[in-house]
Amino acid sequence: MKQLSNRFLLLCLAILAMTPAIAQVSVHLGATTALNATFVLDKGLSEDPRYNSSYTYKWSPVGFNFGIDLGRKFGLSLESIMAKQGQIYKMIDAAEKIKGERRIDMSYLQLPLLMKFMSGGSGGARANFNLGPQISLLTDAVESVKAQAGTFTIPQDVDFASIQQEFPSAVNNGDGTYTLPNDVPSRDILTKKANDFKNQEFAIAAAFGLDIDLSKHLFLTTQVRANYSLTDMRNGDVIDKLKSGDGGSIFGQRANLLVGVQLGLHYMLGKTRSFKTKED
Protein backbone atom coordinates (compact mmCIF):
# COMPACT_ATOMS: atom_id res chain seq x y z
CA MET A 1 0.00 0.00 0.00
CA LYS A 2 2.90 2.37 0.73
CA GLN A 3 4.32 1.72 -2.75
CA LEU A 4 0.88 2.38 -4.24
CA SER A 5 0.51 5.73 -2.46
CA ASN A 6 4.02 6.78 -3.53
CA ARG A 7 3.27 5.94 -7.16
CA PHE A 8 -0.03 7.83 -6.94
CA LEU A 9 1.69 10.98 -5.67
CA LEU A 10 4.42 10.71 -8.33
CA LEU A 11 1.73 10.38 -11.01
CA CYS A 12 -0.02 13.50 -9.68
CA LEU A 13 3.19 15.50 -9.73
CA ALA A 14 4.16 14.29 -13.21
CA ILE A 15 0.78 15.20 -14.72
CA LEU A 16 0.67 18.60 -13.07
CA ALA A 17 4.27 19.33 -14.06
CA MET A 18 3.58 18.62 -17.75
CA THR A 19 0.36 20.55 -18.12
CA PRO A 20 1.73 24.14 -18.13
CA ALA A 21 3.37 23.38 -21.46
CA ILE A 22 -0.01 22.71 -23.06
CA ALA A 23 -1.77 25.55 -24.91
CA GLN A 24 -4.90 27.16 -23.51
CA VAL A 25 -4.07 26.17 -19.93
CA SER A 26 -5.88 27.94 -17.08
CA VAL A 27 -4.82 27.44 -13.46
CA HIS A 28 -7.07 27.94 -10.44
CA LEU A 29 -6.77 27.56 -6.67
CA GLY A 30 -9.66 26.96 -4.29
CA ALA A 31 -10.93 26.10 -0.82
CA THR A 32 -13.86 23.77 -0.14
CA THR A 33 -16.17 22.52 2.60
CA ALA A 34 -18.61 19.60 2.57
CA LEU A 35 -21.32 17.72 4.45
CA ASN A 36 -21.32 13.97 3.86
CA ALA A 37 -23.36 10.88 4.60
CA THR A 38 -20.83 8.14 5.41
CA PHE A 39 -21.25 4.37 5.49
CA VAL A 40 -19.14 1.39 6.51
CA LEU A 41 -20.35 -1.45 4.29
CA ASP A 42 -19.80 -4.70 6.20
CA LYS A 43 -21.78 -7.79 5.19
CA GLY A 44 -21.12 -9.45 8.54
CA LEU A 45 -22.58 -6.58 10.56
CA SER A 46 -25.49 -6.08 8.16
CA GLU A 47 -26.52 -9.74 8.59
CA ASP A 48 -26.00 -9.74 12.37
CA PRO A 49 -29.45 -9.58 14.09
CA ARG A 50 -27.87 -7.59 16.94
CA TYR A 51 -27.01 -4.58 14.76
CA ASN A 52 -29.02 -2.06 12.76
CA SER A 53 -27.16 0.56 10.75
CA SER A 54 -28.15 4.20 11.19
CA TYR A 55 -27.58 7.23 9.00
CA THR A 56 -24.30 8.88 9.92
CA TYR A 57 -23.38 12.41 8.84
CA LYS A 58 -19.88 13.86 8.99
CA TRP A 59 -18.51 17.34 8.30
CA SER A 60 -15.46 17.90 6.14
CA PRO A 61 -14.65 21.42 7.31
CA VAL A 62 -11.87 22.31 4.92
CA GLY A 63 -10.24 21.20 1.68
CA PHE A 64 -7.91 22.72 -0.86
CA ASN A 65 -7.96 22.43 -4.64
CA PHE A 66 -5.33 22.96 -7.34
CA GLY A 67 -6.87 22.75 -10.79
CA ILE A 68 -5.77 23.06 -14.39
CA ASP A 69 -8.23 23.54 -17.25
CA LEU A 70 -6.86 22.30 -20.58
CA GLY A 71 -9.32 24.28 -22.68
CA ARG A 72 -13.07 24.57 -22.18
CA LYS A 73 -14.02 20.90 -21.92
CA PHE A 74 -11.32 19.08 -19.98
CA GLY A 75 -9.26 19.69 -16.89
CA LEU A 76 -7.44 18.09 -13.96
CA SER A 77 -7.65 18.81 -10.26
CA LEU A 78 -5.65 17.64 -7.27
CA GLU A 79 -7.39 18.06 -3.93
CA SER A 80 -6.45 17.79 -0.28
CA ILE A 81 -9.47 17.24 1.99
CA MET A 82 -9.70 16.68 5.74
CA ALA A 83 -12.62 14.26 6.05
CA LYS A 84 -14.31 12.16 8.70
CA GLN A 85 -15.94 8.83 7.84
CA GLY A 86 -17.57 5.97 9.70
CA GLN A 87 -20.87 4.48 10.76
CA ILE A 88 -22.99 3.98 13.87
CA TYR A 89 -24.67 0.59 14.31
CA LYS A 90 -27.42 0.46 16.93
CA MET A 91 -27.26 -2.68 19.09
CA ILE A 92 -30.62 -4.49 19.25
CA ASP A 93 -31.69 -7.04 21.88
CA ALA A 94 -33.81 -10.14 21.28
CA ALA A 95 -36.96 -8.04 21.74
CA GLU A 96 -35.71 -5.63 19.03
CA LYS A 97 -35.13 -2.77 21.45
CA ILE A 98 -32.06 -0.52 21.21
CA LYS A 99 -29.60 -1.55 23.91
CA GLY A 100 -26.33 0.02 22.83
CA GLU A 101 -24.24 0.87 19.81
CA ARG A 102 -21.17 -0.04 17.81
CA ARG A 103 -19.40 3.09 16.57
CA ILE A 104 -16.75 3.32 13.86
CA ASP A 105 -15.02 6.72 13.62
CA MET A 106 -12.19 7.51 11.19
CA SER A 107 -10.40 10.67 10.08
CA TYR A 108 -8.59 10.87 6.73
CA LEU A 109 -6.56 13.23 4.63
CA GLN A 110 -8.07 12.50 1.22
CA LEU A 111 -6.02 13.14 -1.94
CA PRO A 112 -8.19 12.69 -5.06
CA LEU A 113 -6.75 13.29 -8.54
CA LEU A 114 -9.76 13.98 -10.75
CA MET A 115 -10.28 14.26 -14.47
CA LYS A 116 -12.80 17.06 -15.05
CA PHE A 117 -15.12 16.85 -18.06
CA MET A 118 -16.83 20.23 -18.63
CA SER A 119 -19.77 21.27 -20.74
CA GLY A 120 -17.79 24.09 -22.37
CA GLY A 121 -19.74 27.04 -23.69
CA SER A 122 -19.38 30.69 -22.77
CA GLY A 123 -22.08 31.07 -20.12
CA GLY A 124 -21.61 32.06 -16.50
CA ALA A 125 -22.54 28.56 -15.25
CA ARG A 126 -21.08 25.31 -16.59
CA ALA A 127 -21.82 21.68 -15.70
CA ASN A 128 -18.99 19.23 -15.06
CA PHE A 129 -18.35 15.59 -14.24
CA ASN A 130 -15.25 14.46 -12.31
CA LEU A 131 -13.72 11.00 -11.96
CA GLY A 132 -10.40 9.65 -10.73
CA PRO A 133 -8.38 7.71 -8.14
CA GLN A 134 -8.01 8.74 -4.52
CA ILE A 135 -5.52 7.93 -1.79
CA SER A 136 -6.81 8.42 1.77
CA LEU A 137 -4.23 8.80 4.55
CA LEU A 138 -5.55 7.74 7.95
CA THR A 139 -4.99 10.26 10.75
CA ASP A 140 -7.15 8.66 13.48
CA ALA A 141 -9.50 5.69 13.89
CA VAL A 142 -11.47 4.02 16.68
CA GLU A 143 -14.06 1.25 16.69
CA SER A 144 -15.93 1.01 19.98
CA VAL A 145 -18.90 -0.86 21.43
CA LYS A 146 -21.17 -0.38 24.44
CA ALA A 147 -24.28 -2.26 25.56
CA GLN A 148 -26.91 -2.30 28.27
CA ALA A 149 -27.79 -5.39 30.28
CA GLY A 150 -30.22 -7.60 28.38
CA THR A 151 -30.79 -10.69 26.26
CA PHE A 152 -29.38 -10.83 22.72
CA THR A 153 -29.64 -13.21 19.77
CA ILE A 154 -26.59 -15.30 18.94
CA PRO A 155 -25.92 -14.83 15.20
CA GLN A 156 -26.17 -17.93 13.06
CA ASP A 157 -22.91 -19.87 12.57
CA VAL A 158 -21.15 -17.81 15.27
CA ASP A 159 -19.27 -19.59 18.06
CA PHE A 160 -20.32 -18.34 21.49
CA ALA A 161 -16.64 -18.22 22.45
CA SER A 162 -16.14 -15.31 20.03
CA ILE A 163 -19.02 -13.45 21.69
CA GLN A 164 -17.37 -13.95 25.07
CA GLN A 165 -14.20 -12.38 23.71
CA GLU A 166 -16.19 -9.28 22.86
CA PHE A 167 -18.40 -9.42 25.98
CA PRO A 168 -16.62 -11.46 28.71
CA SER A 169 -19.66 -11.31 31.03
CA ALA A 170 -22.00 -12.87 28.45
CA VAL A 171 -23.92 -15.98 29.59
CA ASN A 172 -25.14 -18.55 27.05
CA ASN A 173 -28.84 -19.29 27.63
CA GLY A 174 -28.76 -22.43 25.46
CA ASP A 175 -31.71 -21.32 23.34
CA GLY A 176 -29.90 -19.26 20.70
CA THR A 177 -29.60 -16.22 22.95
CA TYR A 178 -27.13 -14.88 25.49
CA THR A 179 -27.53 -12.54 28.43
CA LEU A 180 -25.44 -9.59 29.50
CA PRO A 181 -26.08 -9.40 33.27
CA ASN A 182 -24.59 -5.90 33.57
CA ASP A 183 -24.19 -2.81 31.42
CA VAL A 184 -21.03 -2.81 29.30
CA PRO A 185 -19.48 0.69 29.22
CA SER A 186 -18.01 1.98 25.99
CA ARG A 187 -14.70 0.33 25.19
CA ASP A 188 -12.41 0.41 22.19
CA ILE A 189 -12.21 -2.75 20.07
CA LEU A 190 -9.88 -1.46 17.33
CA THR A 191 -7.70 1.68 17.27
CA LYS A 192 -5.14 3.30 15.02
CA LYS A 193 -2.77 3.49 17.98
CA ALA A 194 -2.80 -0.30 18.23
CA ASN A 195 -2.14 -0.53 14.47
CA ASP A 196 -5.49 -2.21 13.80
CA PHE A 197 -6.22 -0.03 10.75
CA LYS A 198 -4.37 0.47 7.47
CA ASN A 199 -2.62 3.81 7.21
CA GLN A 200 -3.57 4.25 3.54
CA GLU A 201 -6.73 3.41 1.63
CA PHE A 202 -7.27 3.39 -2.13
CA ALA A 203 -10.60 4.61 -3.48
CA ILE A 204 -12.44 5.78 -6.58
CA ALA A 205 -13.86 9.32 -6.40
CA ALA A 206 -16.53 10.94 -8.56
CA ALA A 207 -18.45 14.23 -8.58
CA PHE A 208 -21.08 16.04 -10.61
CA GLY A 209 -21.77 19.75 -10.31
CA LEU A 210 -21.72 23.33 -11.54
CA ASP A 211 -19.10 26.07 -11.81
CA ILE A 212 -20.76 29.47 -11.31
CA ASP A 213 -18.92 32.72 -12.08
CA LEU A 214 -18.99 35.36 -9.32
CA SER A 215 -16.53 37.87 -10.80
CA LYS A 216 -13.84 38.06 -13.45
CA HIS A 217 -11.46 35.68 -11.64
CA LEU A 218 -13.65 34.19 -8.90
CA PHE A 219 -16.07 31.27 -9.28
CA LEU A 220 -18.17 29.03 -7.03
CA THR A 221 -18.36 25.24 -7.33
CA THR A 222 -21.32 23.15 -6.16
CA GLN A 223 -20.96 19.37 -6.38
CA VAL A 224 -22.54 16.11 -5.39
CA ARG A 225 -19.57 13.90 -4.54
CA ALA A 226 -18.95 10.26 -3.75
CA ASN A 227 -16.00 8.01 -3.07
CA TYR A 228 -15.80 4.26 -2.52
CA SER A 229 -12.82 2.41 -1.05
CA LEU A 230 -11.48 -0.63 -2.90
CA THR A 231 -9.46 -1.94 0.05
CA ASP A 232 -10.48 -3.12 3.52
CA MET A 233 -9.78 -0.42 6.14
CA ARG A 234 -8.34 -2.92 8.66
CA ASN A 235 -4.84 -4.35 8.55
CA GLY A 236 -4.04 -7.94 7.61
CA ASP A 237 -3.49 -9.20 11.17
CA VAL A 238 -6.94 -8.06 12.28
CA ILE A 239 -8.59 -9.62 9.23
CA ASP A 240 -6.80 -12.94 9.84
CA LYS A 241 -8.03 -12.94 13.46
CA LEU A 242 -11.59 -12.28 12.40
CA LYS A 243 -11.48 -15.01 9.77
CA SER A 244 -10.22 -17.55 12.31
CA GLY A 245 -12.89 -16.59 14.83
CA ASP A 246 -10.42 -15.11 17.31
CA GLY A 247 -11.44 -11.50 16.89
CA GLY A 248 -14.64 -11.36 18.93
CA SER A 249 -16.59 -10.16 15.89
CA ILE A 250 -18.25 -11.41 12.73
CA PHE A 251 -15.91 -11.07 9.78
CA GLY A 252 -17.06 -9.15 6.76
CA GLN A 253 -15.19 -7.38 4.00
CA ARG A 254 -15.40 -3.67 4.80
CA ALA A 255 -15.61 -0.74 2.46
CA ASN A 256 -15.93 2.98 3.12
CA LEU A 257 -18.62 4.82 1.16
CA LEU A 258 -19.10 8.59 1.24
CA VAL A 259 -21.83 10.60 -0.50
CA GLY A 260 -22.09 14.31 0.09
CA VAL A 261 -22.47 17.89 -1.06
CA GLN A 262 -19.40 20.10 -1.49
CA LEU A 263 -19.11 23.86 -1.93
CA GLY A 264 -15.93 25.58 -3.10
CA LEU A 265 -14.61 29.06 -3.81
CA HIS A 266 -11.91 29.25 -6.51
CA TYR A 267 -9.64 31.93 -7.90
CA MET A 268 -8.54 31.77 -11.53
CA LEU A 269 -4.93 32.87 -12.09
CA GLY A 270 -4.40 35.07 -15.14
CA LYS A 271 -7.13 33.95 -17.54
CA THR A 272 -10.81 33.58 -16.69
CA ARG A 273 -13.24 30.71 -17.24
CA SER A 274 -16.06 32.95 -18.41
CA PHE A 275 -15.87 33.49 -22.19
CA LYS A 276 -18.94 35.63 -22.72
CA THR A 277 -19.84 38.02 -19.91
CA LYS A 278 -16.36 39.04 -18.78
CA GLU A 279 -13.24 40.22 -20.50
CA ASP A 280 -9.87 38.47 -20.07
Domain 2-269 architecture:
Beta Barrel (2.40)
32: burial class by Cβ within 10 Å (0-12, 13-18, 19+)? Answer: buried
What is the spatial distance between Cα 83 and Cα 261, in angstroms, rounded to a whole number? Answer: 13
Q: CA geometry: angle at 144 spanning 241 and 61, to 5°?
A: 115
- Rg of the chain, C-alpha, whole Å: 23
Residue spans of the domains in the chain: they are 2-269
Give SS3 for 241: helix
What average pLDDT does this structure show over 236-246? 65
pLDDT at residue 263, rounded to an integer = 97
pLDDT at residue 123, rounded to an integer = 75
Q: What tens digit of pLDDT does each residue of 197-213 get? A: 999 999 999 999 999 99
What is the spatial distance between Cα 251 and Cα 268, in angstroms, rounded to a whole number? Answer: 48
Do residues 114 and 207 make contact, with C-beta atoms less than 8 angstroms apart? yes
Q: CA geometry: angle at 114 spanning 272 and 55, to 5°?
A: 115
pLDDT at residue 253, rounded to an integer = 76
Half-sphere exposure of 147 (CA within 13 A, CB side): 24
What residues does 75 pair with on adjacent strands?
69, 116
Whether pLDDT at 236 is above 80: no
Handedness of CA 213, 217, 222, 225 (dihedral sign): positive
169-184 residues labelled b (16+ CB within 10 A) or e (exposed): ebeeeeeeebbbeeeb
Q: What tens digit of pLDDT does each residue of 137-164 get? A: 999 999 999 999 999 999 887 888 888 8
pLDDT at residue 203, rounded to an integer = 95
Rounded to two decimals, the pTM is 0.82
What is the spatial distance between Cα 56 and Cα 42, in angstroms, rounded to a whole number? Answer: 15
Q: What tens digit of pLDDT does each residue of 97-125 get? A: 999 999 999 999 999 999 999 987 777 88
Whether pLDDT at 279 is above 50: no
Handedness of CA 6, 197, 46, 34 (dihedral sign): negative
What average pLDDT does this structure show over 165-169? 88
Q: Which amino acid is at 192?
A: K
Structure letter (DSSP) for residue 231 = S
75-79, 146-150, 212-216, 275-279: least confident range: 275-279
Whether pLDDT at 132 is above 60: yes
Whether pLDDT at 241 is above 70: no
